[in-house]
A and B are shown apart, each in its own frame.
Chain A
Amino acid sequence: MIRVLVVEDSPTVAQLLISMLESDPGLCVVGHARDGREAVLEAQRLRPDLITMDVNMPVLDGLAATKEIMTVAPTPIIVVSSAANQSSVDLSLDAMAAGALMVLPKPDGPAGSDFESEREQLVNMARAMSQVKVVRRWPQRTSAAALAGGSARPVRQKGDRPCMVLIGCSTGGPAALRELFSVLPASFPLPVAVVQHIARGFVGGLARWLDSGSQLRVRVARDGDVLKAGTVYLAPDDRHLEIGRDGRVHLASSMPVGGFRPSISRMFESAAESVGAGAVGVLLTGMGNDGVSGMAALRDAGSPLLVQDEESSVVFGMAQEAIRAGLPDAVLPISGIASRLAELAAR
């Protein structure tokens, strides 16, 4: 039985979340906290397997509560937030940087037509996230100095200087991306395309949040964008981000791949076809195996491939699958990935 603590100041929304969660016999809501302070106390008292966390709350907001919980009683946290306010999205993403695993939008309620799929998503995510081993987080140190850190193995070298970086990530991705982009210099000479699995509605906020903490420019990709150096393009909701032969972004509404749209594999495969060895493929923290088959395609095309190491990953899933398949050239912490990318770009 997975024991869940619901943190939410609105009784209506709390009731909704509780009934959605408890519609699954494997989930049991053991507590309900109405503000962040209560959340911290209840997390310590109840030691739940999972917490759903609202962000805008009295006394202590979701971010501060997440920070405290990750210090005193590390627990998998799903942030449940409205996607319509930048301030909420910022708080949610900051909470993810502080250790929350993912963000889901506030559900629409039983009268909404998406109720069943929302319910399924919440239940599935709750089940999946409750299995994540979260570690105690101490106040984050900045890793700018880590740029100097070299790699253990030389990167396999084929062809010329790469022309773009492709990054795929899932659970724990926002924080990893923020750390990566905060280290890469404004003069980074390559465009970066990113597929981050994130709940619908949040990608715009994610772009602004990453942008505000980065020297690169971060934005949501639009169909037909010409990839520019020093710019990060995030795949939008519900579209595959593909790299066309013309070097432009193509947003496709084709079938989801392995349940994902955008799919990391789809992005990698399209680049393998269009730019061959010119793309650097990177897989960061995340659950599942999206990106692994795409990485195989990149490898066949001769691209350098990097994955995030277990220690710095929130969930060592996709990267582990890639390692099992013998794909990556290097397994590195975020700081190592940053310095390796700088190295490759400087070639």
Chain B
Amino acid sequence: MTRDELAARLLQTFLGELDELVQTLNVELLRLEREGTAAGSDVLDAVFRVAHTLKGAARATRLAAVEELCHAMEGPLAAAKAGRRELVAEDFQLLFEAADALTSTGERLRRGAAPDTAALGALARRITSSAGRHGTVSGLTTPAFGTEMPEPEAPRDVPDAAAGGATAAGSTRSMDLPNRVPGSGTTGVPGSRSSSGRTDMSVRADDELDHSSAGNGVSVRAETQVRVRGEKLDELLATAGEVMLAGESAASLASPSADLAQRAQRSAFRARRAISRLRRLLDSSGATDADRRMLEELAEDAAAMARDAHTAAVRSTQTANAVVRSSDDLLESVRRLRLRPFEEAVEALPRVVRDLAAETGRQVTLRITGGEVEADRAVLDGLREALLHLVRNAVDHGIESPEERLRAGKSANGTLTLSASLRGQHRLRVVVRDDGRGVNLEAAAEEVRRRGRPVPDDPRELLRILFESGVSTRARTTEISGRGVGLDIVRSIVRRLRGTIQVTSEPGSGTSFVIETPLTLATQRVVLASVSGQMFAIPSVSVEGLRRIDPGELRQANGQMLLPSDDAAIPVASMAAVLGPPLTLGEHEDRIPAVIVRQDDHRRALMVDELLQETEIVIRPLELPDESVSESLAGVALLPSGRIALVLSVAALLQREGGTDRTVRARGATRAPARRVLVVDDSITTRTLEASVLQAAGYEVLTAVDGRAAWQLLQERGADLVLSDVQMPNMDGYQLCELIRSNPKFESLPVILVTSLESPEQRRRGLEAGADAYIVKSSFDQEELLDTVRQLMGQEATA
């Protein structure tokens, strides 16, 4: 590693460390300010240590101005630590300023800019001179040796100059001042983009290490930490995701080999039957025993081969399943590695609330609950910014001045509550609630009207407009919360996090914002669709439904194709046209597969060539030079087949114009009545997917949510084939199958069982129950399904 490379790497580490330490600084300073000496010496030690540690780190990264500021900060802290003085309001003010200056230095460095040495130096001097006024010299403790023992250290590289006559403060100063002028001090900043946007992540491994501490037998719980760059975890996660896909792909290969084994078994059986039929013929034709034995050996060989093939198939299935299981575990562990407690997203807020309340003359108590709830670091990073805006907004716009509150019959002290909780297994819910004046609906309506926009009657809709740029509910706009810009940012962050946000407000008693996001952004469920031969993945969270659109049901209004639905009609567009000029026009028999996507209140039915499946994928970011393309794409994902799917950003898709003018025409007027398939599955996704595939192939589809409903539907309307899930409430697939077989009316009705679990045992149970075929979900592909359906129907037709 060259020195430059080392310098660049150190700077990266330093930026992570800076964030962490400044955070600690803010938290501990707040505590110290609030509790004073009651906070205990630990808190003071911690604050001092931050300044000290940061000084060392700044030195290692050659950030002389930061080092100088930290050194100045040590002054009053060391004095307080030694009990020579107490910290006063001015100290806190300066130390908080220093924390902010350090934060903005971090931001500058991330941008590739040099630190503002003049500002940092000026602040350092203010701290030092303030410390001097309060009777402390900076940095070094008070000289203990009077005049007889002058400070002996000469500054490094500045021999003798500061020794002797200089005061202690002076010599300390010159000691830590950069020996080299700025400019060389900033060489630690590697120019460029690589320095931006990387985060360091602390991974906690709670090792239970039992060690006898100094022989007294006390068990010590050691918590070892390893620092890993966030990016590396991303890579690990992506690789784990690919391992999982490879495992699934191996599992899907296991199923053809099981089929092969079955076919071998069938031919062995047929060979045996042929031999027994031929026996008489052989006898009469005067074949010898040797001839017969030859034939029988052939049949036995076939049977043996079938057995071996079966054993091999079972083994490969087991292995593939084991790989899938462990890769699932792996993925889960890696995902867990990325989890951080919610409190990390709100660490900065107490400080923000304090400053803002002081500035605006409010009295605000901030309550945070659910700090221990864990979510992916990337989610928390996004929430951090969103919550900052919401909290600022609440203090500045929501909570009234103490006088106003008293007049309204409330306590002078406003309360701002932030609570995090889990919604189900995969969603994080964060509520920001204040007990302030609430949104002034009239003012909001007036503002909306003033901008020449229609004012909705529904207050919820009005609140939604709150999120749109440029609407502020207070007459006075301030530097703090801007002109409603903050809320617009919140909205776009929540969108980026693939989350939702809702506002409710009660005039006079407060406002609540409810944000819901996925716990992790790294993997997500998507619906796969193909357009012009390219695979696209659409996040399931934005998919409202899958449809086969019959062109006959479409309406046209103002040149816009509309799909009528229960509530409002959904605009219809061709995905190919939305994404760009279509390469080929999809050929559709009569119904066109479509994905209905939704973001907030915007919906669109996007027609695609083919709907494939819903699956969980690991998304890798995509960097493209052309922003107009890259903003529509959330990333790429590798599919089990090895194909690449482009992950679409639904928000961007909805914003894109186009694709709406495509006229959809039905082809082929009359056809023979479609054969009817009854699809039974308790999962709406699977049900919809299977139904789509079958409809696309020209079958009429009935659906049922469990075995019992299916049985009823079957009796009422009949079907030519049943495609059923195995595990379902009320009546499972085996029971349904047995019931069908036990009824003479349906004796020969083909039944296909679809299961997520593949084991020889299950296959055996399925066949015992009378199923004609068995399809494993993990290897679900529509060709296989259609082949099986066709085969079974065809057999029935010719029978």
Report A's interface with B, CB cutoff 8 A. 9-13, 15-16, 19, 34, 37-38, 40-41, 44-45, 54, 56-58, 68, 71-72, 82-88, 106-113, 115, 200-201, 203-205, 207-208, 211-212, 217, 219-220, 222, 236-238
Contact = CB atoms under 8 A, between A and B. Distances in A.
Nearest to B57: A12
A211 B214 contact: no
Contacts of A205: 153
B177 to A, nearest CB: 11
B17 A12 contact: yes
B770 interface: no
Nearest to A20: B6
A45 B210 CA distance: 11
**Which of A71, A83, A109, A220 has its CB near the most chain B CB atoms (within 10 A)?**
A109
Contact of B1 (A9, A19, A106, A208): A19
Query: Which 7 A-B residue pairings sit nearest by Cβ, starting from the closest?
Result: A220-B152, A111-B62, A12-B57, A204-B153, A110-B3, A204-B152, A109-B60
B62 A72 contact: no
B341 interface: no
Contact of A203 (B6, B56, B152): B152
A103 to B, nearest CB: 14
A29 to B, nearest CB: 13
A181 to B, nearest CB: 15
Contacts of A40: 211, 213
A45 B60 CA distance: 29
A109 B141 contact: no
Contacts of A82: 52, 55-56, 59
Contact of A219 (B52, B56, B152, B172): B152
Interface in B200-216: 200, 209, 211, 213-215
A11 B145 contact: no
A237 B74 CA distance: 25
A10 B220 contact: no
B78 A72 contact: no
B6 A110 contact: yes
B151 interface: yes
A85 B74 contact: yes
Given A15-B10, A84-B71, A107 B60 contact: yes
A10 B145 contact: no
Interface string B126-161: 000000000000011100110001011110100100
Contacts of A71: 214
Given A37-B220, A111-B7, A10 B57 contact: yes
Interface of B: 1, 3-4, 6-7, 9-10, 13-14, 16-17, 46, 49, 52-57, 59-62, 71, 74, 78, 139-141, 144-145, 149, 151-154, 156, 159, 163, 172, 175-176, 180, 184-185, 187-188, 200, 209, 211, 213-215, 220, 222, 224-225, 227
A10 to B, nearest CB: 4
Nearest to B2: A110
Given A56-B49, A108-B59, A219-B152, A11 B227 contact: yes
B49 A204 contact: no
A253 to B, nearest CB: 9
A41 B222 contact: yes
B7 A109 contact: yes
A16 B222 contact: no
Given A11-B16, A11-B17, A109 B59 contact: yes
B60 A13 contact: yes
A340 B16 CA distance: 57
21 contacts: A9-B53, A10-B56, A10-B60, A11-B13, A12-B57, A13-B60, A37-B222, A41-B209, A41-B220, A72-B215, A84-B140, A84-B176, A85-B140, A88-B52, A108-B62, A110-B3, A110-B7, A219-B152, A222-B152, A222-B163, A237-B154
A201 B141 contact: no
B646 to A, nearest CB: 37
A41 B10 contact: no
Nearest to B4: A110
Contacts of A15: 9-10, 13
A85 B214 contact: no
Given A13-B56, A38-B222, A85-B74, A109 B214 contact: no
Contacts of B188: 109-111
A110 B184 CA distance: 12
B758 to A, nearest CB: 45
A10 B53 contact: yes
Contacts of B56: 10, 12-13, 54, 82, 106
Contacts of A112: 62
A88 B71 CA distance: 13
A88 B154 CA distance: 17
B60 A108 contact: yes
Contacts of B159: 238
**Which of A82, A84, A113 has its CB near the most chain B CB atoms (within 10 A)?**
A84
Contact of B156 (A38, A109, A201): A201
A85 B1 CA distance: 32
A44 B56 CA distance: 27
A58 B60 CA distance: 20
B151 A38 contact: no
Contacts of B10: 12, 15-16, 109-110
Contacts of B1: 19
A2 to B, nearest CB: 20
Contact of B152 (A68, A207, A217): A207
A5 B566 CA distance: 68
A212 to B, nearest CB: 7
Given A11-B13, A37-B220, A58-B49, 20 more contacts: A9-B53, A10-B57, A11-B17, A11-B200, A12-B13, A16-B10, A19-B1, A41-B211, A45-B211, A54-B56, A82-B56, A84-B172, A85-B141, A107-B60, A109-B62, A110-B6, A111-B188, A201-B153, A201-B156, A237-B154
Contacts of B17: 10-12
Contacts of A220: 152-153
A13 B18 CA distance: 12
Contact of A16 (B60, B187, B209): B60
**Which of B153, B209, B227 has its CB near the most chain A CB atoms (within 10 A)?**
B153
Contacts of B144: 208, 212
A16 B60 CA distance: 7
Contacts of B55: 82
A112 B62 CA distance: 7
A13 to B, nearest CB: 5
Contacts of B49: 9, 56-58
B503 to A, nearest CB: 40
Contacts of B52: 56, 82, 85, 88
Contact of A87 (B6, B78, B220): B78
A44 B16 CA distance: 30
Given A19-B6, A72-B214, A208-B145, A106 B209 contact: no
A186 B213 CA distance: 40
A98 B107 CA distance: 42
A11 B6 CA distance: 14
A59 B16 CA distance: 21
